[in-house]
Amino acid sequence: MSFTPDSALLARLSRGEISFAVVCGGAVVHECMGRGIGPALDALDRLPDKLAGAEVYDTIVGKAAAALFILGGVCAVYAGTVSDSAVALLERAGVECRWGVRTEQIVNRTGDGLCPFEQAVLGCAEPADCLPVIRETLARLRAAK
C-alpha cells in the first residue's frame, strides 16, 4: 500500500475543523475535536473494530499516540506534527506515516518542556508497554486538576 492522505481531511485538519479522524475503505467512520492523547485513546477503547486496517489523521502524533495506533492495528497515519520517536515506532511496526511537520520531540502545551505522554513513554520499547504508562499518566494528570 502507498498511503496518499485525503486532501479534504488535510484541509479540515489545517482549518481546525477536526483534530482526529479514522478512515476505513475511503470513508470517514469517526471524527472529532479533542486535545492531547484523548482522541487516540478513546478510539482504541471504543472503536477497535474501526481502527484495524484504518487510516488515522491526527493533528499531533508523538510516540504515545503512535503506540496506540499500532495497538489498534492501523495501516497508515497522517500527522500534522509528528515526533521522530513516533515515526521510528510506526515504521518499525510497518505502519505508513506522512506528516506536515516532523520534529525531534513533542512539547507540552505551555511550550516549556516535553509533552507529559512523550516523557512517560520514553523508556518503553514496545507499543504494548506504552498503554499502561499512558493510562497511568492520564489518570495522574486528571487527578491533579
Q: What is the mean pLDDT of the chain?
A: 95
Going 60 to 61 to 64 to 65, the CA torsion angle's sign is positive
Bridge partners, 96 (sequence order): 76
Whole-structure pTM value? 0.96
Please state, in angstroms and rounded to a whole number, the distance separating the CA atoms of residues 120 and 137.
7
- Mean per-residue pLDDT, 57-77: 98
Q: What is the pLDDT of residue 1?
A: 62
Going 137 to 80 to 4 to 22, the CA torsion angle's sign is positive
User: What percentage of the chain reaches a pLDDT higher than 90?
Assistant: 95
Q: What is the pLDDT of residue 3?
A: 93
Q: What is the pLDDT of residue 145?
A: 80
Q: What is the pLDDT of residue 124?
A: 95
- The single residue listed with the C-alpha cell 477503547 is 45
